[in-house]
Structure 1
Amino acid sequence: MNMYVSNLGFHASDADLRELFRPFGQVSSAKVITDRFTGKSRGFGFVEMSSAGDASLAIRELDGKDVDGRRINVSAAKEREDRSARRKW
């Protein structure tokens, strides 16, 4: 299950995100999204866990939790929209 994590501190790394979710089960991937020009965090990321049950537990336990002075939001990630479908020239 893939999860969306927002309101991360701007110094958060992939490893930090992985460690935050590790107590809830096996983390398949953890990625903090960065600005393509500056390389700095954009304040959100994605975490994938192999078990939907583990992911549900992580969402319940971490959503709204204070991490580094910021209240993070954790939810199930939505499927990515096809950007070409949005263009209406």
Structure 2
Amino acid sequence: GSHIDETAAKFTEGVNPGGDRNCFIYCSNLPFSTARSDLFDLFGPIGKINNAELKPQENGQPTGVAVVEYENLVDADFCIQKLNNYNYGGCSLQISYARRD
């Protein structure tokens, strides 16, 4: 059966794109093959990350969505400037500030 990563599910639960300026980044349109370690490789060079998780579907399948928490607001700003519409694994990343509903 499928195993849901509880930590990832909790961290990404109720998080949506289009938030006000904050340290949380919402990234969608990631390749389904993306692993959690890839998130640190992709977002890590921009600034210090507190956490990064892939949002799982309830059946454990990938969604192509990730939530990244930067330590500094400036790094979050830079991430959006640098990686929004960035071509990653053939996909054009959609990146915005996250909001938790």
TM-score normalized by the length of structure 2: 0.74
Give matches, 1:15-34, under 5 Å.
15-34=37-56
Q: Tell me the secondary structure at the aligned position of residue 12 of structure 1.
A: coil
- Structure 2: gaps of 5 or more residues: 1-22
Cα distance in 2 for residues equivalent to 1:75 and 1:18: 17
Is 2:3 the counterpart of 1:4? no
Report how many aligned residue pairs link the two structures: 79
2:82 is matched with which residue? 61
Q: Tell me the secondary structure at the aligned position of residue 77 of structure 1.
A: strand
Cα distance in 2 for residues equivalent to 1:14 and 1:28: 13
1:75 is matched with which residue? 96
Identity %: 29
Cα-Cα RMSD? 0.9
Cα distance in 1 for residues equivalent to 2:36 and 2:78: 20
- Structure 1: gaps of 5 or more residues: 81-89
Cα deviation for residue 45 of structure 1 reads 1.1
Which one has more relative contact order, counting CA pairs under 8 Å at least 6 apart? 2
Cα deviation for residue 36 of structure 1 reads 2.4
CA contact (8 A) 1:33 1:45 kept: yes
Cα distance in 1 for residues equivalent to 2:72 and 2:46: 10
TM-score normalized by the length of structure 1: 0.84
Cα distance in 2 for residues equivalent to 1:50 and 1:7: 23
Which portions of structure 1, spanning 4 or more consecutive aligned residues, are displaced by more than 6 angstroms?
none
